[in-house]
Amino acid sequence: MKKISEATTKTYGHYPEKILQFGEGNFLRGFADWMIDNANENGDYEGSIVICQPVELGLTDLINSQNGIYTLVMRGIEDGSPVEIVKKITSISRSFNPYEDYESLMALGRSTDLEVVISNTTEAGIVYQSGNKLSDAPPSSFPAKVTALLYERYKAFKGDPTKGILFLPVELIDKNGDQLKKIILQYATEWELEPDFITWIHQANKFTNTLVDRIVTGYPKDNIDYFEDKLGYKDDLLVTSELFNLWVIEGEKDWKSILPIHNNSAHVLWTTDATPYKTRKVRILNGAHTSTVLAAYLSGHETVLDLIKDPTFDDFLEKLISKEIIPTIELPVNELESFAFAVKDRFSNPYIHHKLLDISLNSCSKFNARCLPTLLDYNRITGELAEGLCFAFAAFIKFYQGSSTSGSYIGTRSDGTNYPIRDSEDVLAFFETVWSLKDMDTLANVVLSHKDFWSGKDLTEVPGLASKIAYYLNKLNTTTIKDILREMNLV
């Protein structure tokens, strides 16, 4: 069977290398690189991507062996029907490993073509690491590499204010662009670089904060034979993803002309404030997950698809989002409803097998970040308790009922199935102790008053909340979850 590089003409890789990408993994190839390829295809852009491998071991050799070409297969549900879209991505010109070829990075700093830096070095990438020096080839941390790149560019163009770079980090940390800039400035000061360079960083360069949303499932090793038969070639970089995509970019709106990827099928939103969109994602997508998966698992389901196929849970999810979550978000209702509709389609995706137990990891901090703010805002706005979220809170506490066995903390479903409860040691120790209490009112008060879990808040101060949680805990000990959901006003 031919390789993809033998079966495909490279359409866009000859364009000027306008984009430097730190990161060669599945996510960027299934997200940003696809968007750039679309822009090239539509004639909105004429630029190629050069990839800098961010760590010593990576995919550079494999990418170059395929001439930078790979296949993206996007699969999901649209209007109730399964959809599969295949696209060859040919906008990557090359990849290099700076630990073997540092000069390639410095040469890009001196390039008149370079305009944009995209990065995904994981949330551990945008951090300060002591001991990095300008003379290192390369420095070990990602921000130190970027500082060296920018200094090379500053010197090459003698501080020309038109030679700054647009930065689009997608690492999953809050204010990712601001954090990257902060650490770059820290290195510039530590390395005693001239004040004019620091001024140039501020004035010539554009740092955006971004929010990304797409499930990229990566290389389909379990059914690669199906894809090779379908495509007629071998692709060791084949990547699969869902259909949904969203890139929210916080920055000056005129910056979008530098990288015009918003004029095609990609969902790219430029805004001066990404906060409402982050709230929308966290509360509707992530919050809906956290609010339903633990109860669904306790009731016998194994995957998100199982959950969504159950009419009782499907109704609960829909009404939880529409009646309790959406009213707490400050965006137009039609935008929120459209996003919620897409979330339901994403949960129904038959190509993505999200195990509920995988999603249950660290549910204590997840509930605090994703669900509790909605519950509290709903109470502040309406003066009432959000019934569905209160039930979800109780189901979370019930899920954490377990005991330590051979170094693991194990819970048991009503059908006798044992399951691992995975969280930090202090969280697990707390719940093992608290579940020795027999009275649910006492248990609820102890959990809700544990400020360390709830960002310093004593939740027993919310009128009626502790008694409502205790009510549902008692119901969970005596009634099936589906019967509880059916009895609730939401369903």
- Give 54-74 pLDDT, tens digit per residue: 999 999 999 999 999 999 999
- For 36, half-sphere exposure in the C-beta direction (CA atoms, 13 angstrom radius) is 31
Please give the mean pLDDT across all residues of the chain: 96
Q: Please give the torsion angle defined by the CA atoms of residues 22, 25, 27 and 28, in that order, rounded to the nearest 10 degrees.
A: 40
Percentage with pLDDT > 70 across the chain: 99
Q: Report residue 124's pLDDT band, with 50, 70 and 90 as the boundaries.
A: confident
A 10 A CB-CB count for 405 gives 10
Q: Report residue 88's pLDDT band, with 50, 70 and 90 as the boundaries.
A: very high
Residue 319 neighbours by CB under 8 Å, 6+ apart: 388, 490, 491
- Give 400-418 pLDDT, tens digit per residue: 999 998 889 999 999 999 9
488: pLDDT strictly greater than 90: no
- Give 237-263 pLDDT, tens digit per residue: 999 999 999 999 999 989 999 999 998
- Give 377-390 pLDDT, tens digit per residue: 999 999 999 999 99
Of 184-188, 214-218, 263-267, 430-434, the range with the lowest mean pLDDT is 263-267
Q: What is the pLDDT of residue 264?
A: 81
The Cα–Cα gap between 44 and 257 comes to: 10
292: pLDDT strictly greater than 80: yes
- Give 423-455 pLDDT, tens digit per residue: 999 999 999 999 999 999 999 999 999 999 999
- Give 35-58 pLDDT, tens digit per residue: 999 999 999 999 999 999 999 999
211: exposed, middle or buried (Cβ count in 10 Å: 0-12, 13-18, 19+) = buried
491: pLDDT strictly greater than 80: no
123: pLDDT strictly greater than 80: no
Q: Please give the torsion angle defined by the CA atoms of residues 443, 444, 450 and 452, in that order, rounded to the nearest 10 degrees.
A: 120
**Using only C-alpha atoms, what is the Rg of the chain?**
25
352: pLDDT strictly greater than 80: yes
Q: What is the pLDDT of residue 306?
A: 96
CA-based nearest residue to 273, from 209, 334, 336: 209
299: pLDDT strictly greater than 60: yes
Q: What is the pLDDT of residue 51?
A: 98
Q: Report residue 196's pLDDT band, with 50, 70 and 90 as the boundaries.
A: very high
Residue 333 neighbours by CB under 8 Å, 6+ apart: 326
* Unique residue bearing structure tokens 């649209």: 78
The Cα–Cα gap between 374 and 379 comes to: 8
A 10 A CB-CB count for 365 gives 14
80: pLDDT strictly greater than 90: no
Q: What is the pLDDT of residue 490?
A: 64
- Give 12-36 pLDDT, tens digit per residue: 989 999 999 999 999 999 999 999 9
- Give 313-333 pLDDT, tens digit per residue: 999 999 999 999 999 999 999
Percentage with pLDDT > 90 across the chain: 95
Residue 482 neighbours by CB under 8 Å, 6+ apart: 299, 310, 312
Question: Domains of the chain, with CATH numbers?
Answer: 4-271 (3.40.50.720), 275-487 (1.10.1040.10)
